[in-house]
Chain A
Amino acid sequence: MMMFFPWKRALRKKTVWFSLIVMLALGMVAAFAPWLAPHDPYQWSLVGAHSSLPPMWVNNPFKPGLAIYPLGTDNYGRDVLSRLIFGTRTAFFLALTAVPLAAFIGTLVGLISGYAGGRLDAAIMLFSDMIQSLPGIMFLVIIVLIFRSMLSPSWLHGLITLVIGFAAVSWVGLARQIRINVMLIKSQLFVEAAVGLGASPLFVITQHLFPNVLHVILVWIINNIPAVILLEAVLGYIGVGVTSAIDGGEFTVTSWGGMFFSGRSALSRNPLMLMIPSLCILLISMSFILLGDFLNETTRQEQE
């Protein structure tokens, strides 16, 4: 992908600069979280009245902000900044596992259904119509509810639940796009020539069809990374996200969605607890959207 990326044209655009810098910065934050975070994100400090602190610049006479907790603390006395920094890891993990998994399923189904055609294609399309006519968020919530009793409480398992849920819901859109593209490509001469030369279906799919739909997959992945991060936030806010996927998971995982959940109760005291994670989400998802826009534009210009 690095080779096909139009670097020359990209570096002339401010939006691409913005998105690359944001991605790089947040990636660094995720990678070096233990060294950057000023506190342990799971450390309670109820004793020294360090819980529910406002940000450091607030001059409340009853509870002034402390310089060691720059963005304040939540109601268990855990440092908000550290939780934010460690939450970046969760977001990156989700983006880098859930979306590729969904893309993999969608590509597989789309290729098979588009190439095979006939009865199999009709059956697959009927099934994907069924999935599509279910309300997405509720589907996800139910999957999380099912899995949360099965898995033991650890950092990974809450995430796996969400990854499975996202993949189960969102492969449908990609499968449809790929199916239509495959049907268009299949009718072209070079595929017929390959079949005429005796190529097996597997060879045609992997060597001729897949490379020709690769750009669809890449654009889909870039467009859906913000979607999964937003979804995690929404699920966290209503209380079934990564952090609360298992009972007690709130104390072993940090995620931006979980911060919304704890920020909801502290809304009147410290609205920043809600605003700061949403600012992070805004930055990262905007950078992916702008990058996707740029890629769309370049493919359009190349087609002309």
Chain B
Amino acid sequence: MPHRIFSCSSQCCLARKAKIMGKTILRILLRKFARVIAILVGATLIMFLLMHAIPGNPWGNYSSSPRMMLGMYIDKSTQLALSHHFGLDLPLWRQFTRYILGDFEKDGSFTCGVVCGNLGPSIQQRGRTVQAVLFEPPKGMTFWESRFGYSIRLVLFGSLIAVGLGIPLGILSAAKSKSVISRIISVGLAALISIPNFVLGLLAIIVLASWLKLIRVLPDWSNPSNWIIPAFVLAVMPMASIARVMRASLMNILSEDYVRTARAKGLTRTRVMLVHVMRNALVPMITFLGPTLMEMFTGLFIVESLYSFPGFGREYWKAVLSLDYPMIMGLTLLYATGIVLVFVLIDVLCAILDPRIRSVKQRGAV
């Protein structure tokens, strides 16, 4: 149907075309938005059901903590009162809607849930809400000093390293694909992917801290030079996989006919590489970059506990072990939001970079 509308060329028709296109774009955006919301709710629901399936309750789960050894159990009546206070005695579906939408309290007042940005009270860190634990900086500091700010800064630093080293390495090894350097690079990249990142982190501590005395084991994070090692450990695996994907997609494109044509008509190697090859390699690269860089957040769990870094990755781990339900939900939601937003961003970027995708979408084949 839209075909006929787009093919008309008179002035009045163009205005109509723009109007209809605006409408379709609005509809596409609305559908995207609904999908994002559905994914977020579904992901939190899956996590909600799973975490309630973990045996034990938050009050009895001190088996690994010093409280247990000291015999400091929480007695049954207190446990019940605590469960009631945090709403854990409600049926599961009530708890879930209470978390997402909100619920009426006994005195009739309404507390709003996630939809208003209220992530609920943390169970294990008494007296603090989840959003306070995650986003509130210590007194007198900027937002970047909060847990979220610290982790985001580390991940940004790491992605800078991963992209800044990975893409040039991939280009280098693809451009000189038959040389010794390229072979060394590709075997080296395979090796870097195969090392668990905590081993790299421990090696860095042993070699750089205790042998060479280059870094301090308890660094203060106000000094930017201390960030290099954790960011590097975090970035190694994404960097290697980015470089490998870059290399593979470049090799695919380099064997195409139009590249040979461009070389044959006398363009320099650099120009062919930068203009003809890179532009086509960028689209698969960007679709790959998003999930890979998001995986750094999973790497955070390890790196943060290795270097006792004050971010939220360690918080997640602690929350799962001590069954801090609102904390798990909050962090899952944070992570899922990040991933979904990155995927939407990728869609948009690909449409900007590759006109073919855009034209397909306009014809209604979303």
Interface size on A, residues (CB 8 A): 42
Q: How far is the CA of A290 from the CA of B189 in the complex (A)?
A: 10
B332 adjacent to chain A (CB < 8 Å): yes
A47 adjacent to chain B (CB < 8 Å): no
Task: List 8 A-B residue pairs with CB atoms under 8 Å apart, sorted by A's residue number.
Answer: A127-B42, A129-B39, A131-B46, A133-B39, A138-B320, A146-B50, A289-B194, A296-B248
Q: Which residues of chain A come closer than 8 Å to B50, judged between CB atoms?
A: 139, 142-143, 146
A290 touches B190 (CB 8 A): yes
A290 touches B339 (CB 8 A): no
| Interface residues as binary, B305-344 with A (CB distance below 8 Å gives 1, 0 otherwise) | 1000000000011001000000000001001100110010
Task: Name the CB-closest residue of A to B46.
Answer: A130
The interface residues of chain B, by DSSP majority, are classed as helix
A154 adjacent to chain B (CB < 8 Å): no
Q: Which residues of chain A come closer than 8 Å to B53, judged between CB atoms?
A: 146
A130 touches B190 (CB 8 A): no
B38 touches A126 (CB 8 A): yes
B148 adjacent to chain A (CB < 8 Å): no
Q: Which stretch from A67-75, A80-88, A278-286 is at the chain B interface?
A: A278-286
| Interface residues as binary, A114-152 with B (CB distance below 8 Å gives 1, 0 otherwise) | 000000000000110111111111110111011001000
Q: Which residues of chain A come closer than 8 Å to B251, judged between CB atoms?
A: 300
Q: How far is the CA of A15 from the CA of B340 in the complex (A)?
A: 38
Residue of B42, B194, B320 near A126 (CB, 8 A) is B42
A25 adjacent to chain B (CB < 8 Å): no
Most chain A C-beta atoms within 10 Å of own C-beta, residue among B55, B190, B295 = B190
B193 touches A134 (CB 8 A): no
- Those 7 A-B pairs whose CB atoms lie nearest each other, nearest first: A285-B194, A130-B42, A133-B336, A278-B199, A133-B339, A289-B190, A149-B55
Q: How far is the CA of A296 from the CA of B191 in the complex (A)?
A: 18
Q: How far is the CA of A230 from the CA of B196 in the complex (A)?
A: 6
A271 touches B206 (CB 8 A): yes
Q: How far is the CA of A139 from the CA of B328 in the complex (A)?
A: 11
Give the contacts of A40-89 with B (CB-CB under 8 A).
Answer: none
Task: Name the CB-closest residue of A to B299.
Answer: A137
Q: How far is the CA of A146 from the CA of B50 in the complex (A)?
A: 8
What would 7 more interface pairs be, CB under 8 Å, given A281-B194, A290-B187?
A129-B343, A131-B46, A133-B339, A133-B340, A138-B320, A146-B50, A286-B190
Interface size class of B (residues with CB under 8 A): 35 or more
| Interface residues as binary, A148-185 with B (CB distance below 8 Å gives 1, 0 otherwise) | 01000000000000000000000000000000000000
Q: Which residues of chain B come closer than 8 Å to A133, judged between CB atoms?
A: 39-40, 43, 335-336, 339-340
A302 adjacent to chain B (CB < 8 Å): no
The interface residues of chain A, by DSSP majority, are classed as helix
A281 touches B35 (CB 8 A): no
Q: How far is the CA of A142 from the CA of B331 in the complex (A)?
A: 14
Q: How far is the CA of A52 from the CA of B54 in the complex (A)?
A: 35
A141 touches B320 (CB 8 A): yes
Residue of B40, B42, B193 near A289 (CB, 8 A) is B193
B39 touches A130 (CB 8 A): yes
Q: Which residues of chain B come closer than 8 Å to A304, judged between CB atoms?
A: 255
Q: How far is the CA of A230 from the CA of B193 in the complex (A)?
A: 10
Give the contacts of B175-199 with A (CB-CB under 8 A).
Answer: 186-187, 190-191, 193-196, 198-199
Q: Which stretch from A100-108, A203-211, A232-240 is at the chain B interface?
A: A232-240
A233 touches B298 (CB 8 A): no
B6 adjacent to chain A (CB < 8 Å): no
Q: How far is the CA of A289 from the CA of B206 in the complex (A)?
A: 28
Q: Which residues of chain A come closer than 8 Å to B190, judged between CB atoms?
A: 286, 289-290, 293
Q: With contacts A267-B202, A296-B248 known, is A134 near B336, CB below 8 A?
A: yes
Q: How far is the CA of A279 from the CA of B128 in the complex (A)?
A: 44
Q: With contacts A126-B35, A238-B317, A296-B248 known, is A285 near B43, CB below 8 A?
A: no
B97 adjacent to chain A (CB < 8 Å): no
Residue of A278, A290, A296 near B195 (CB, 8 A) is A278
Min CB distance A138 to B, Å, is 6
B47 adjacent to chain A (CB < 8 Å): yes
Min CB distance B333 to A, Å, is 10
Q: Which residues of chain B come closer than 8 Å to A138, judged between CB atoms?
A: 298, 301, 316, 320, 332
Give the contacts of A216-248 with B (CB-CB under 8 A).
Answer: 226, 230, 233-234, 237-238
